[in-house]
């Protein structure tokens, strides 16, 4: 799988230098909003790599190499985790530096970062099967449509509701977010493998 990750890394580094730089800068700037941007860009990296694969018809060639479907599909997920992981570590590092300078760490700093990271990885889990299924161009449009519809339904459902019933202790919130992220990614990976097998090997 290392060969596949190296290929994607070369593609991303060469093709999206500016975006990569912005992602890294946003990761270290002390702003949760910019961190959000940064981590979502990171989670989009495998999709960018997939777009270049599509253009080169790499899938056909990859099928001839000594890689299994698990490795080919898994490499894209792993790439997302590595990208998000790098952003996470950079952000944590910058937070600690800032805390050392200011003499205190904001209480909700880490929890916000963890929650945003989990959300980005859940979005990656939704995104990747779509991209494997209908390709990056159409997949992106479908994802935007799903997000708009999902958000509209969600906001409508919340209107007028007493939100205090959703109050959850921090530790349960983090555990729940982790669990949901893992479940979504495991299901997503299994779906992507099935889609990829059907699409490429039929």
Partner 1 sequence: MNTADVGMTIGGTEMYETQTNAIEMKHVTKKYASFQLEDVSLTLPSGCIMGLVGENGAGKSTTIGLIMGSIRRDAGEIFVLGQDNTKKEFDAVKEDIGVVLDEAYFPEVLNAVNVNQIMKHTYQRWDEKQYFDYIKHFSLEEKKMFKDYSRGMKMKLAIAVALSHKPKLLILDEATSGLDPIIRDEILEIFNEFTREEDHTVLLSSHIISDLEKISDYIAFLHQGKLLFCEEKDRLLEEYGILQVTEEEEKDIPKEAIAGRKQGKYATELLVKRSKISDAFEIECAGIEDIVLFLARKGE
Give the binding site for partner 1 (CB under 8 A). Answer: 2-4, 6-7, 10-11, 14-15, 52-53, 55-61, 63-68, 200-202
In the bound state with partner 1, the residue whose beta carbon lies nearer, of 64 and 101, is 64
CB of 135 to partner 1, least distance (A): 15
In the bound state with partner 1, the residue whose beta carbon lies nearer, of 66 and 103, is 66
Structure tokens at 44: 């989009």
CB atoms within 10 A of CB 136: 20
- List CB contacts of 9: < 8 A, sequence separation 6 or more: 79
DSSP string, 27-96: HHSS-HHHHHHHHHHHHHHHHHHHHHHHHHTHHHHHTTSS--HHHHHHHHHHHHHHHHHHHHHHHHHHHH
CB of 133 to partner 1, least distance (A): 18
In the bound state with partner 1, the residue whose beta carbon lies nearer, of 22 and 200, is 200
CB of 88 to partner 1, least distance (A): 25
Q: Which residue in the block uniquely carries the two structure tokens 């339904």?
A: 153
Q: How many residues does the chain have?
A: 202
In the bound state with partner 1, the residue whose beta carbon lies nearer, of 68 and 147, is 68
CB of 180 to partner 1, least distance (A): 32
CA distance 95 to 44: 24
CB of 201 to partner 1, least distance (A): 5
In the bound state with partner 1, the residue whose beta carbon lies nearer, of 11 and 181, is 11
């Amino acid at each position: 799988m290392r060969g596949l990750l190296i290929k994607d890394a070369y593609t991303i580094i060469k093709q999206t230098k500016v975006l990569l730089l912005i992602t890294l800068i946003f990761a270290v700037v002390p702003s949760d909003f910019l961190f959000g941007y940064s981590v979502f860009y990171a989670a989009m990296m495998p999709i960018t790599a997939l777009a270049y694969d599509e253009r080169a018809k790499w899938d056909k060639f990859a099928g001839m190499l000594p890689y299994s479907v698990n490795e080919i599909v898994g490499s894209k997920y792993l790439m997302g985790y590595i990208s998000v992981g790098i952003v996470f570590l950079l952000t944590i590092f910058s937070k600690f530096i800032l805390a050392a300078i200011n003499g205190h760490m904001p209480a909700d700093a880490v929890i916000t970062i963890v929650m945003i990271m989990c959300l980005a990885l859940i979005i990656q889990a939704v995104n990747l099967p779509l991209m494997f299924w209908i390709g990056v161009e159409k997949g992106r449009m479908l994802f935007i449509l799903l997000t708009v519809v999902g958000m509209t339904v969600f906001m409508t459902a919340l209107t007028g509701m007493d939100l205090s019933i959703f109050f959850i202790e921090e530790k349960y919130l983090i555990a729940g977010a982790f669990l949901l992220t893992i479940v979504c990614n495991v299901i997503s990976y299994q779906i992507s493998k099935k889609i990829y097998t059907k699409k490429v090997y039929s």
